[in-house]
A and B are shown apart, each in its own frame.
Chain A
Amino acid sequence: MTTPPAPPRVPAELAAAVVDPHAYAQRERVDTALARLRADLPLGLAEIEGSDPFWVVTRHADIKEIERQADVFHNGDKSTFYTTRDSNARVQMLTGGEPNLIRSLVSLDGKEHKDLRGVVFPHVTPRAIKPMEEAIRAIARDFVSQMLSAGNEVDFAAEVAFLYPLRVIMTVLGVPAEDEPFMLKLTQELFSNADPELNRARAALSPEELLKSLWETTMELEGYFKAVTEKFRANPTQHINSLIANATINGEYLNHRQMMGYYIIAATAGHDTTSNTVAGAMWALAERPALLGQLRADPALINAFVEESIRWEVPVKHFMRSAVADVEIGGQTIRAGDWLMLNYQSANRDEAVWADPFDFRIDRKDNPQLAFGYGVHVCLGQHLARMEMRILWEELLPHLTAIEMAGPGERTISNFVCGPKHVPIRFKAA
């Protein structure tokens, strides 16, 4: 009898980099680590003290294959994002044994996922969102007008990129404009909890304090959405929050955790990802003077610009999966119960797919970026995200003749959903 070979181990310094929130804030650091892994060990096991071991999946093809096999690689059996054993134990204590604090679409599988996704899905297809185009364009015009009237310098991340997608998604959800600051604050607390500038405590926190603050944010969101349920059950509308409040599966309303998870994912991931991409796109524009001229001369290139900015910024850095059966992926044997990190930042820099992945180019013939994921868990809001980004650039770029960075840009300290938090630019208006 032969013993199966031990899985190849990711070198400790590279394993540390792929989970370090600071490495993503200094993008080159994590890009360097991921490029080394793609070259030398594209699928290896990371062992980090205090965490369960996990495979780091870095290749585009392997991530696609894992996402394609959603029946074999589950989202919700273990934590859907990287966490430590201690944090996971506390989450299980708080949730009564579930591995995720929030029970949302990204941490569900099988029939429950399909049923819940079906509540909103018909309302966010390209055809369903097309009638929203003019309303979204009006929102974009408001933000462009505010930006142009405020001088020739702006922190584009804080003043435009964080706020425009927020206004769009809150309109679609049926959240009043006066609640937008609350939703932005809680979204940042949720996704940027490792960043002392944006988290709930506005301070560097221990893992235990981080989890406590996440729980407090979640409870505050649940309190808010309890009233939303009451409001939309009394007076149903076509807003997404009303669909969630009134949805039934087998004749029953969604249960508390399903409903709260749905509200929270729609209200947070529904704008933060787009905000990060828009901010990253402006940063790329400001550093490439010729790009603005190209886009102004041929606005039909804006779709390619949007797609490249999604590839470039890749706002969701990773999700975790867990295998339910032994399966071979990328030449390695993954065992039932194994935990895997799908690193989307790495997938979107894969040299096997893009000859020049570290160049920002809008002339790519094919751009199969994986920032929205793949398979049955592909981003529910991807078509809305693309449309609102296209509209913003269509409205803004004709008004600008030059853009440059007015100071150093800065990225959020996070290894999960993140992007630029400051993009100071100087511009010349047309």
Chain B
Amino acid sequence: MPPFQRWRCRNCGLVYDEALGLPDEGLAPGTRFADIPEDWYCPDCGSEKSDFELIET
């Protein structure tokens, strides 16, 4: 299994960590960013999924 990745919203800095998911938003721990529906948006600022950038490790 490839390692989990982290993604950051360009507009507000919210970090989506695949390992943790966002349970309050209905995204279970382990949910890959690629598996999040395309119409999902940042729960803090409303930016679209395409506004998230991969955090390089």
Contact = CB atoms under 8 A, between A and B. Distances in A.
A89 B17 CA distance: 44
Could you tell me the dominant secondary structure of chain B's interface residues?
loop
Interface string B33-44: 000000101001
A348 B47 CA distance: 21
Contact of A383 (B13, B44, B46): B46
B38 to A, nearest CB: 11
Contacts of A121: 46
A375 B41 CA distance: 15
A239 interface: no
A124 interface: yes
A372 B12 CA distance: 9
B11 A378 contact: yes
Contact of A68 (B11, B13, B46): B13
Nearest to B47: A126
B19 interface: no
Contact of B11 (A64, A67, A127, A382): A382
Nearest to A68: B13
A368 interface: yes
A127 B10 contact: no
Interface residues of B, number: 11
B21 to A, nearest CB: 19
A375 to B, nearest CB: 6
Nearest to B39: A127
A354 interface: no
Contacts of B39: 127
Contact of B12 (A124, A126, A128, A374): A374
Interface in B24-53: 39, 41, 44-48
A378 B12 CA distance: 6
Contacts of A375: 12-13, 44
Contacts of B45: 378, 382
Contacts of B46: 121, 124-128, 383
A64 B14 CA distance: 12
Nearest to A125: B46
Interface string A102-127: 00000000000000000001001111
A374 B13 contact: yes
Nearest to A127: B41
A402 interface: no
B41 A376 contact: no
Interface in A70-126: 121, 124-126
Contacts of A125: 41, 46
Interface string B1-18: 000000000111100000
Given A124-B46, A126-B46, A374-B13, 19 more contacts: A64-B13, A68-B13, A121-B46, A125-B41, A126-B47, A126-B48, A127-B39, A127-B41, A368-B10, A372-B11, A374-B12, A375-B12, A375-B44, A376-B12, A378-B12, A378-B13, A378-B44, A382-B45, A383-B47
Q: Which 5 A-B pairs have the closest CB atoms?
A: A125-B46, A378-B12, A378-B45, A374-B13, A125-B41
Interface of A: 64, 67-68, 121, 124-128, 368, 372, 374-376, 378, 382-383
